[in-house]
Amino acid sequence: MRLKELYRIAFDVNARDFFMMTRLSYIKDIGFNQNCLIILAVAVLYPNSVLAGSQYYVDLNINTEKCSQYDVVKRKCGSGVSVAYKKFSGVVTAVKPGDTVYIREGTYNEQLSPETSGTKGNEITYRNFQNEKVIITGPYRPAIDLSNRQYLIIEGLEVNNVDRWLYLLKASHNIVRNNKFRNARNGGGGAKTGIFFSEATYNRVSGNTFENNSSDGMSLISSDYNIVENNTFHYARHALWDIRCGNFNVIRNNYFHNKRQKIGEVYDCHHHAGFKRHNATKYNLIEGNDFAFVPSSGNSSPYSGMQYAGQNGIIRFNKFHDLAGPGIRFAIYGKEARYNLSNRTYHNVFYGMHFAGIDIADGQDMKDNIFQNNIFTKSEFVANDTRWRWWVNQLDGQPVQIKTARLNGFLLDNNAIFGNEPGDYWLITNGWRKPGVGGRLTIADWESDYPELVKNTVEKNPSFVNEQERDFHLKPDSPLIDKGAFLTQTTGSGSGTVIPVKDVGYFYDGFSIPGEKGDIIQLKGQKETAMILSIDYKGKTLTLDKRLTWDENQGLTLKYNGQAPDIGMYEMTAD
């Protein structure tokens, strides 16, 4: 057998069968060295398949429900050695842990509902073949159902014009990556949205596009330890995503743009999808996202970049810009959003909102919310909602960066707040639909009259690299370089891998999610860094991957360059 023919077989058959053929049947014909090279080539083509499981195909072109002589190149039955099925319903009964299902180009009017779970290290993969376009469509609710399944991978598919996209109900350790989800036309039925998590754990959704949903784009309800990262979200009738009574989830490095309503929501459950859990939306990390657009609400409550009522959350390194409503509304309302406690919002940029960078609601159970090292600039209040005289007659056109309906429950510490020039009024404004106490106040007035709420403000133009392109890196001459506060301080002096600090709420240890790593931290005045391995929230200690030595009350923050961290999203690169 010639080398060319072996390459043809390598392309045509599953990796395990090819390995056995070359190892046993043809080793004398082609020689040991060539044999090894071919096996290596197959390993590169199918890195997750060699010796890990079989390969199956789904192809609408074949004229039988199952074909055991499928030709991958010709897409026909009878001249090959692979196994193919005409429908998803056939292949899902055949696969075992470690197998890969390649779906050939075509439009499939069928639900994909795997019957078998994979195992750790032997996931079952359903994906498009090479770069072929695979579309799943039809009146399915949902089009892909991973409920009660574990260790499955869904990759490279397009789901379009269906009732709902995907369910992860009591599902765990699944990966949904590099797919396109479009046009979910029937999002009714309560909380079951386009992509719906319920009691789901340790799932990862990455590199997907979600576009045009008639309800919420993605809901994580009573679901913990999930990662949603590097996705693009466009257009949903209500919110692009929400977390409800879920803990230890990560929303990271996504792009959000909603022409219809708000972007994100975080709050508790009060009869949502059958759950009634209060003060139960804790330790969620929202970082590195681009909150790019929400429209005017007209005469209704303004649409927010994020409507937030969680506890012990971290909101950091995000950019909020060009929103008709506030970047974040820290909400208190009803029974689902009563607890807004101990959240840490730091190193974000709030730029060019037509309401305010943040909006803080009145009501009970708003405590210990700290805003630190953020940039608030270029926002201008626009009275899109014309029902309130104060908004129309006084606030309209003012450089409002922070709007608060309360005078307790929060602290603005060491933020850059800048309107048009130093000494502007209205940068921090108190009141909801009527003016609050104090009338017009400057930043200096706030720091003098309310030092428990506002302190250490840097009232200077940030000097961004390119505002028009929304590049919020700082120029080398920015007045915000080395002006950031250290996030916390040590308690007592010592040496070792367990370091006690005053506030552990700023930090992330990976939440014990596979593949995640903790923050890299650095002490004031030291160059050495260490990674956080775990956090003791009650004991207020950080366990590190290496020994450090510290003094009492020594500043501690994330890795930085220079003498201190910079204010804003980006740390100036070291020389």
Question: SS3 breakdown of the chain: % helix, strand, coil, rounded to 5?
Answer: 10, 40, 50
Taking alpha carbons only, the member of 242, 261, 217, 402 closest to residue 336 is 242
Phi-psi region of 147 (alpha: psi -120 to 50; beta: other; left: phi over 0): beta
Q: What is the pLDDT of residues 286-329, one digit of tens each?
A: 999 999 999 999 999 999 999 999 999 999 999 999 999 999 99
Residues making up the chain, counted from first to last: 575
Mean pLDDT of 437-457: 92
Phi-psi region of 477 (alpha: psi -120 to 50; beta: other; left: phi over 0): alpha
Residue 567 pLDDT exceeds 50: yes
pLDDT for residue 557: 98
Mean pLDDT of 21-43: 44
Mean pLDDT of 187-213: 87
Is residue 439 very low, low, confident or very high in pLDDT (cuts 50, 70, 90)? low
Separation in Å, CA 403 to CA 355, 399, 476 = 8, 11, 31
pLDDT for residue 4: 38
Instruction: Name the token pair of 295.
Output: 């429209």
Mean pLDDT of 525-533: 97
Cis amide prior to 142 (ω within 30 degrees)? yes
Amino acid at 136: I
Taking alpha carbons only, the member of 54, 14, 19, 26 closest to residue 40 is 19
Element (H, E) at 547: strand 541-550
Instruction: Name the token pair of 33.
Output: 């060295």
- Rounded to 10°, the helix 32-45/3-12 angle is 30
Residue 522 pLDDT exceeds 70: yes
Q: What is the pLDDT of residues 340-381, one digit of tens each?
A: 999 999 999 999 999 999 999 999 999 999 999 999 999 999
Residue with tokens 């990560």: 250
Q: What residues does 124 pair with on adjacent strands?
A: 152
Mean pLDDT of 228-257: 97
Is residue 492 very low, low, confident or very high in pLDDT (cuts 50, 70, 90)? very high
Mean pLDDT of 535-559: 98
Within the chain, how many helices (H) and strands (E) appear?
A: 7, 52
Is residue 275 very low, low, confident or very high in pLDDT (cuts 50, 70, 90)? confident
pLDDT for residue 191: 54
pLDDT for residue 573: 84
Instruction: Name the token pair of 265.
Output: 């929501």
Element (H, E) at 175: strand 175-177
pLDDT for residue 186: 72
Mean pLDDT of 469-476: 97
- Judge whether 506 and 537 are in contact, CB under 8 Å: no
pLDDT for residue 481: 98
Instruction: Name the token pair of 527.
Output: 């160059």
Question: Pairing relation of β-strands 195-198 and 166-169?
Answer: parallel
Is residue 193 very low, low, confident or very high in pLDDT (cuts 50, 70, 90)? confident
| Exposed / middle / buried, residue 455 (Cβ in 10 Å: 0-12, 13-18, 19+) | middle
Is residue 398 very low, low, confident or very high in pLDDT (cuts 50, 70, 90)? very high
The whole-angstrom separation of Cα 404 and Cα 418 is: 17
